[in-house]
Chains A and B, each alone.
Chain A
Amino acid sequence: MELNIVNIVSLVIILICAADIKLMSSPKTALVGNRIGALSMLAAILFVLIYNDIITIPLLLVSLIIGAFIGILFTYKTGGVKIPQLVALFNGFGGGASLIVSFILLLEQGSNIDTFARFTAFSGAIVGGLTFSGSLIAAGKLEGIINQKPVTIKAHSMITSLLLIILLAIMIFGTVIDDYIVTFASGATVLSLLFGVIFAIRIGGADMPITISLLNSCSGLAASVCGFAVGDIILISLGAIVGASGLILTQIMCKAMNRSLWHILTGSTYRKVIDSSTETIVEIKSDGAKKEVHNYLEIVNKAKNIIIVPGYGMALSQAQEQVKLLFDYLIGKGKDVRFAIHPVAGRMPGHMNVLLAEVDIPYEYLCDIDTINPEFASTDVVIVVGACDVINPEAITAQGTPIYGMPILRVHEAKHVIVCNKDTKPGYSGVENSLYNKSNVTLLLGNAADTLAELISQLQNDLQSDTVLQD
């Protein structure tokens, strides 16, 4: 590679971005890292405008400003709860841009560019297209505009495979045949958009973290492939990094849910199990082993160490504020409090951490699964807020169930567990939670925000009456 100004500047920008990602690995430096990333991106945009002497083209400037303005507006108006859908939406826009860039390239100079560039332009259109429509569907599902349950159509898997084969064929024929490039490009666009829809519509709620990670990876790949087509190394490099990042998150999410990527892609969901179990409302049997614990208030007030386990139910009932109040109360009483965060709790990777950070819970108290799991056995009380599958002990014992082998938070090892869930229905996996039947478990059913508020006031009363008695 010759050392001209373009390549040198590109390499410097890439290295700065790499340093920025390095800074993202600690909460202390991540904010600075992100800002450096934003600045280097601005530098990349300005450089391309100035170097090519196109900064004076009004169309470019106006489009850039409009885009930036809409980006700020979208984010400004959105609260923390809607972050998953916003990330999905932005992701889709990035994919859409890659699709259009590839499409224009094929349209304008399809027969002039070399085979390699043409091949990458087709790939860019296809990956960009499926990222665009897939992300929009995902965002729609998260927002609740589209049915959040997995939607399957007739012969879903067959249609998916068929589309994939046709897309591959278009990619190959479009590259080698010099005529009909516009037809091929249009076909690739329409079919890849369709593929994204059909792929994403089948994904259910709890599979969302995996889907979003995967689509994130795709948007990076689309940008990278686009970079091949236009011959720009910043695009290639940064796109590849994003692709790798999304892939790592996808891997982590798959492992944490005990599902293979293949199962997600081919759409073998938990749905069948869910269908059968939601129809019959599960009754928690008070057999001999299950004694109602009435003194749980006393247990909490006397506990030395407490772990709080949040799940998607906390996000649904908007109970973060109450969790924070509970946290303050417990910390105020001198207790050792920590949060146990399962990797797939919520609708995107690390969702719970963001929600808890938003209500000013310091990040030192947020522990990941590997750190916290050895601690449960020596913990006095665990308070579960809207989590089910990630604490289900059946994952260790019940062979043959969908969650068998899935890493769980070992809540059942604690001396006492208080569960603030909506009901005792199984979670997304459809597997009943045997934890609820244990004798040292107190169930406080209902909307988590309400039950937690109640719990806090009861705890305060209990403590007061206790001190009155002692006096």
Chain B
Amino acid sequence: MFEMAAMRSPLNSLHGEDVPHVEFNGITLTELPFLRHYNVRFQPDDQQASSRFRQLLGFDAPQGPNIFVVHEDNLCAWLGPDEWLIVTPFHAKDSLDYALNEFAYGDDFVTRVDISAAQTIIRATGPKAADLLGRGVSYDLHPRNFQAGSCIQTVLARASVTLFAQSAAAVTIDIVVRRSFAEHLWNWLVDAGQESEFHSL
């Protein structure tokens, strides 16, 4: 068991010991550090694995492409036809850990990997958040296309990212990024937000 106080997020170096947070031109960027990330794989047509997943975690893994579901503390995103990302807050990790261990140690052909240390999440909020990300993403992030509950994996500023549309009203987009790219992406977002079109808010 490791101590919360001794943990450092990938973006701590930019802002001392504080959680990174910056506001500019109506856009707020903040890091969501220390969440637990798990990569889970199993064959979706494996009825036994699917039903054990539902039984142990309490929800179904989303089957469609480019969507995620939220169930209590857990967010479960579709990454591929047989691959999902589950994100849960630090305080809920023990129960999820237990459920995923039970799931992985059954007879079914499934894997779960704790990738919490490999990636972090940057949350972009504000009416122009989608425009800001649109400076580097070709996918249409307008709420009519990228609705709440959608997630896409794409490339932003040459970094592989997964984007979650958390809410449509006050646009909130979460960006999952590898830790080694986090500082680069943060600086790119702050820099892109300085362009003139973002000043008129």
Q: Do A and B come from one complex?
A: no
Residues on B lying within 8 angstroms of A by beta carbon are none
